[in-house]
Structure 1
């Protein structure tokens, strides 16, 4: 694959790029009779009749059509699971996991994915799955696509290089990669190993949330989402294509690289985003605003305002609210919340929640700061305070998220997580005699 020469900016915009000048048809030049002996192929992310503003599709001009592979056969994956799960696996408990270790045996990105929880029904294009990945080997003549869902990749340690049909993305911790449903790609390491998080979005594609009363600026900006320029592999070597389709894994051989797109134009493309570019909105008076003000991307559902999936971050920011308990309040939420920590310390959990770890607080399951966080925040002087050197995130969904059987049996599951709330003492003082 040619070296990437740059990125184009803007989630949802229409782009055009060619690795060979003249490969991209223009005007009345027939898109079905492209130059240089290329084939035209449409990559559709929505139904043909979706409203113009919602329609996602890209025309590709490639060396061979993507159908030129031999028949798929089913294969097993050791740790990647798909919703729905068996009802016997559900639990109303708060759950937290320690970091996932990098495997000792040579393992690729796809083989290193391990499911923690999932909800909805993938075949109905509803819900999501939250996974972690850990791997130590680049994919060579091995390629992958996911027909079940869009993939939001959140690196935690180690840089990744995504070589895709539409070009190359280099993604480091502190950035995210967004890979459309059905996109062919392979993943290379930029170091010795890598680990991180993966949201498999079964539902509508992620997009920027509406800003409402915020106006036209704030949160994530479309101009900061970068998509690759055209770059292709012209390889005649035998290779293997693995597909995730219908909740199962399938494998087929073909005699050439599937990353052979020489030119493309459209608005369905992989992208990356640097989380440091997020413009935080917060209170400058009193009270603690809802975490929805930290939404980077949303996947809407058929109920307005209730997301199939949200991607929310908790980045460095100033805390300045008067007479206000500044960590997250204790709450029960109709939405399910899966959290991960990229680096630093999360303000409500200074102990066992560490980078690479994860927690799950399901629909209507009580949670909030542990006893030590409550004590410190309650007695802290309310001066302006910078929450710095941290980056936590949340996958949130209207669907309850069931932990997989593997995750419930994992040695990384913290059996003592509940104890963080047991030290919360009674302070009720109806006479006011304890007030300072």
Structure 2
């Protein structure tokens, strides 16, 4: 597919699929070229500060207001929205799931969404939901936009083609895609059944985190984020448009494809990123740094240093710290951690956490390496070691993540997960050396 580099979050971008379709110098001329309609898509309040103001001008064959019928309720029972409280009777705890199974019956991306957790309040535009998706067929003449939040998609099995009103994006495992609030799209599995994860962000849109003392380089760099070039579909046949709005779903019928934007410019657009472009940093002498150094994207909360959501990855990297317990330590955290594994093995878990799986460690609930992982790390020879062929991630939020009924009653729930810490033994014996036998 054709992409252009995103010049930077907050900067304008422009693209056209027909020469001269994009006006020069005037955003909304009286008669746009090719008989197009000018339409603005705003992702922020009109009066937001310049650096945070987000909007794009779309030049399309028909304005998106043109529907052939009213909206009617639609039903996607496994897609839940915060607040989603008292959905089940299961007590709090540390949880882990095996990978979701791809159904045998035809299932597209929308009907294949299964919500695992919700957090915050979509109506208050704060918090998130964590979903898994499974699909084996494309959306054909169905289209969708989400008014509640943007979608960060992390494929785990199989590639996806997102055909959006602003162009086409393809991603495969190891890449991510962000679909802004309000952007219309449909999804096509590229190479058979697909599975992956979705973070639905109700709050401030994802952006690059500040690097602080790290300085100008490393982590995720602006130039590696790509937006699609303009592409349009002039299709005169019945289509459906599904909308998620305040936690409910609605559908309307239209007599043409809504993917008819011939040109656009602005700073509010879908984008993709190859996680292999992430440049990790870490301890090069001793100690174990906080996982925040692996933040790819962040959704700010308005409180400095306390994110609405952080998207954090654990990519291939070298471990070189001396006299240090290298895996994540045991901890209790104000943040709530939804974790997935794209491929490979996570260094703090010896078994049970497999590609496609999920773990959930909610705020202030203790967690850390399992028994065998601790034994291995506490007796390891601390020579330089490269963690290779691995990719795990976290959707981390300041809000408690509430389980859905689907997650609580899933046959994939590992009900013996808590036993992975059962064999941690007492090493205290009253001497400074302790019992490390």
- Do the structures match in fold with TM over 0.5? yes
Number of residue pairs matched by the alignment = 433
Helix, strand or coil for the counterpart of 2:417? coil
**Aligned partners of 2:196, 2:30: CA distance in 1, in Å?**
41
Q: Which residue matches 1:23?
A: 21
The structure 1 residue matched to 2:50, chosen from 37, 49, 52, is: 52
The aligned residue for residue 270 of structure 2 is 270
SS in 1 for 2:296: strand
Is 1:63 the equivalent of 2:66?
A: no
Residue in structure 2 matched with residue 209 of structure 1 by the alignment = 209
The superposition leaves residues 296-319 of structure 1 with CA deviations (integer Å, 9 ceiling, x where unpaired) of 000000211100000000000000
1:191 paired with 2:191, answer: yes
**SS of residue matched to 2:154:** strand
C-alpha distance in 2 between matches for 1:358 and 1:55: 35
1: distance between equivalents of 2:8 and 2:361?
A: 30
SS in 1 for 2:429: coil
Counterpart of 2:293 in structure 1 is 293
Q: Quickly say closer, same or farther: Cα 1:195–1:435, change in 2 above 3 A.
A: closer
Who is 1:228 aligned against? 228
Structure 1 equivalent of residue 146 of structure 2: 146
Give the RMSD, CA atoms, in angstroms.
Answer: 1.3
**Cα deviation 1:80-135 (Å, max 9, x = unaligned):** 11110224647420011100011110000011000000100001100000000000
- The answer for the alignment partner of 1:79 in structure 2 is 78
Name the structure 1 match of 2:96.
96
Contact 2:3 2:226 in 1 (8 A): no
Summarize deviations over 1:269-316 as a string: whole Å, max 9, x none: 000000000000101010000000000000000211100000000000
CA contact (8 A) 1:11 1:207 kept: no
Greater displacement, 386-395 / 9-18: 9-18
Structure 1 range deviating more: 280-289 or 26-35: 26-35
Distance in 1 (CA, whole Å) between partners of 2:129 and 2:30 is: 38
Q: CA deviation at 1:32?
A: 4.6
Counterpart of 1:254?
254
Task: Give, in whole Å, the separation in 2 of the partners of 1:94 and 1:137.
Answer: 34
**1:254 to 1:172, Cα distance in 2 relative to 1, 3 A:** same
TM-score by length of 2: 0.97
Residue 6 of structure 2 is matched in structure 1 by 9
Distance in 2 of aligned mates of 1:300 and 1:144: 26
Going from structure 1 to structure 2, the CA distance change for 1:422 and 1:67 (only over 3 Å counts) comes to same
Distance in 2 separating the partners of 1:205 and 1:46: 9
Q: Alignment partner for residue 32 of structure 2, among 24, 31, 34?
A: 34
CA apart distance, 1:405: 1.0
Structure 2: gaps (5+ residues): none
- d(CA) in 1 for partners of 2:138, 2:366: 41
Task: Check conservation: 2:179, 2:270, Cα contact below 8 A.
Answer: yes
The corresponding residue for 1:325 is: 325
Distance in 2, Cα, partners of 1:35 & 1:29: 12
Q: Tell me: CA distance 1:28–1:84, structure 2 relative to 1, closer, same or farther (3 Å).
A: closer
* Cα distance in 2 for residues equivalent to 1:135 and 1:313: 24
The 1-side partners of 2:61 and 2:262 are apart by: 7
| Partner of residue 118, structure 2 | 118
Residues in 1 aligned to 2:86 and 2:106: alpha-carbon distance in whole angstroms = 34
Deviations 1:256-277 (A, max 9, x none): 0010000000000000000000
Counterpart Cα distance in 2 of 1:425 and 1:37: 75
Post-superposition CA distance 1:173-206 (Å, at most 9, x none): 0000000001100001111110000000000000
Q: How far off its partner does 1:6 sit?
A: 3.4
Q: Distance in 2 between matches of 1:426 and 1:10?
A: 54
Partner of 2:174: 174
- Say if 1:323 and 1:234 are closer, same or farther in 2 by CA, change over 3 A: same
Distance 2:107 2:77 in 1: 12
What's 2:418 paired with?
418
Determine helix, strand or coil for the equivalent of 2:376: helix
* 1: CA distance, partners of 2:3 / 2:130: 31
Matched, 1:338 2:338: yes
The answer (yes or no) to whether the contact 1:91–1:402 under 8 Å persists in 2 is no
Corresponding residue for residue 165 of structure 1: 165
Compute the TM-score of the two structures, normalised by the length of structure 1: 0.97
Counterpart CA distance in 1 for 2:398 and 2:19 is 46
